[in-house]
Amino acid sequence: MASFTISSPSKSSSFLSSSLSSLFTPSSLSRKSFAFNISRSPICAPNSLKCELPQPVNYENGIPTIPVLNERILPKFVESNRMDKAVNRNGAKLKLFSGTSNPALSQEIAWYMGLELGKVSIKRFADGEIYVQLQESVRGCDVYLVQPTCPPANENLMELLIMIDACRRASAKNITAVIPYFGYARADRKTQGRESIAAKLVANLITEAGADRVLACDLHSGQSMGYFDIPVDHVYCQPVVLDYLASKKICSGDLVVVSPDVGGVARARSFAKKLSDAPLAIVDKRRHAHNVAEVMNLIGDVKGKVAVMVDDMIDTAGTIAKGAALLHQEGAREVYACCTHAVFRF
């Protein structure tokens, strides 16, 4: 590394003029001779300040030029300080916040990850409007907002949207909406004329609010992932339910998986393959109106077996109760009803 010397300003002008006159003589202005002087015998005046340059001295018209220090070429002590601060910032890049929908779940997630829940203030005005303010900085952080849109669905959904907006306006790097229960997911298609597809509308609201990613659990149908214009991570609760059933130590020959309706056959068949390829049964159900269903017949044999009924979501649990009663009438020894978030034993 080449070096360059700067004379101390405390010396007299006579010393500077004599030094310069001896340095820049016609015989020493050539590039070759000047380079030899710099590398072999640098001129060091008394009380001079020595600056280490990150690259050899450049010359323009025979005169050495000193590179300007910018963000790319910094002194070593400054660069090391910047790196230390960057490492410290990266150590706190992950932020986890909870809404008011299920704070116990959020607290358990934070405990499992070894984090502390972020501080956020969520209030309701007298007219019911929601107010959200983050109590800590999220600038440049990866923020995860845990907020199921379970009942009351409208309140929790609006709270999630406002939380996303608050994080976006606080300059968060990435915002992930963690929605274990995705409300309005059942309205994912048109079964009659002049119906709305509310699942698509909610997906648009979450996207426009500023979310960069969505993490959902056991959506009503896989097609709901296509309603989002942002990446969606779809996780399943099947491993948890399978571990629970395995703890019951049920013989594989005594198991039968039951679908509560014809539309859930694919889900029940996938579940049966994971239970030693258990046989399948189907409940013939008629739905006359919303939250009103009538169980008609059973297709399959459940006599003397443990029936595991697999459904996607439970609202009023009317279908599950009627289906369990029908299975017991058909001779089932025991009935387990499994959905996304719960397991019932009848």
Looking at the fold, whether 226 and 280 belong to one and the same domain comes out as no
Cross-strand bridge partners of residue 97 = 145
In 3D, which of 293, 284, 187, 179 has the Cα closest to residue 232?
179
Looking at the fold, whether 148 and 108 belong to one and the same domain comes out as yes
Strands (E), the chain: 3-6, 49-52, 58-60, 63-65, 94-98, 120-124, 130-134, 142-146, 174-179, 213-217, 232-235, 255-259, 280-289, 292-299, 306-310, 334-338, 343-345
Looking at the fold, whether 213 and 228 belong to one and the same domain comes out as yes
Residues 6+ apart with CB under 8 A from 31: 59, 62
Answer whether residue 95 is part of any domain: yes
326: three-class secondary structure by DSSP: helix
Looking at the fold, whether 117 and 219 belong to one and the same domain comes out as yes
Its domain, for residue 143, covers: 81-235
Answer whether residue 321 is part of any domain: yes
Looking at the fold, whether 205 and 245 belong to one and the same domain comes out as no
Which of 235, 270, 286 is the last residue before a domain boundary?
235
Looking at the fold, whether 221 and 338 belong to one and the same domain comes out as no
What CATH number does residue 131 fall under? 3.40.50.2020
Answer whether residue 336 is part of any domain: yes
Which of 211, 235, 259 is the last residue before a domain boundary?
235
Looking at the fold, whether 133 and 164 belong to one and the same domain comes out as yes
How many independent structural domains does the chain possess?
2
Looking at the fold, whether 202 and 163 belong to one and the same domain comes out as yes
Q: How far apart are CA 159 and CA 142, in angstroms?
A: 19
Looking at the fold, whether 85 and 196 belong to one and the same domain comes out as yes
Which CA distances in Å does 4 have to 18, 40, 48, 215, 251?
A: 18, 12, 10, 58, 84
HEC states along 43-107? CCCCCCEEEECCCCCEEECCEEECCCCCCCCCCHHHHHHHHHHHHHHHCCCEEEEECCCCHHHHH
The strand pair at 130-134 and 120-124 is best described as antiparallel
The strand pair at 3-6 and 174-179 is best described as unpaired
Answer whether residue 35 is part of any domain: no
Looking at the fold, whether 254 and 305 belong to one and the same domain comes out as yes
pLDDT value, residue 51: 45
Looking at the fold, whether 92 and 231 belong to one and the same domain comes out as yes
Answer whether residue 169 is part of any domain: yes
Per-residue pLDDT of the chain (346 residues; tens, 9 = 90+): 444 444 444 444 444 445 444 444 554 444 444 444 444 444 444 444 444 444 455 555 665 554 444 444 445 544 444 444 443 444 458 999 999 999 999 999 999 999 999 999 999 999 999 999 999 999 999 999 999 999 999 999 999 999 999 999 999 999 999 999 998 988 888 888 999 999 999 999 999 999 999 999 988 888 889 999 999 999 988 888 888 888 888 888 889 999 888 878 888 898 899 888 999 999 887 665 666 666 668 889 999 999 999 887 777 777 778 888 888 888 999 999 887 667 778 7
Looking at the fold, whether 209 and 105 belong to one and the same domain comes out as yes
Task: Quick: pLDDT tens for 284-312.
Answer: 876 656 666 666 688 899 999 999 998 87
Helices 198-209 and 153-169: crossing angle in degrees, nearest 10, is 30
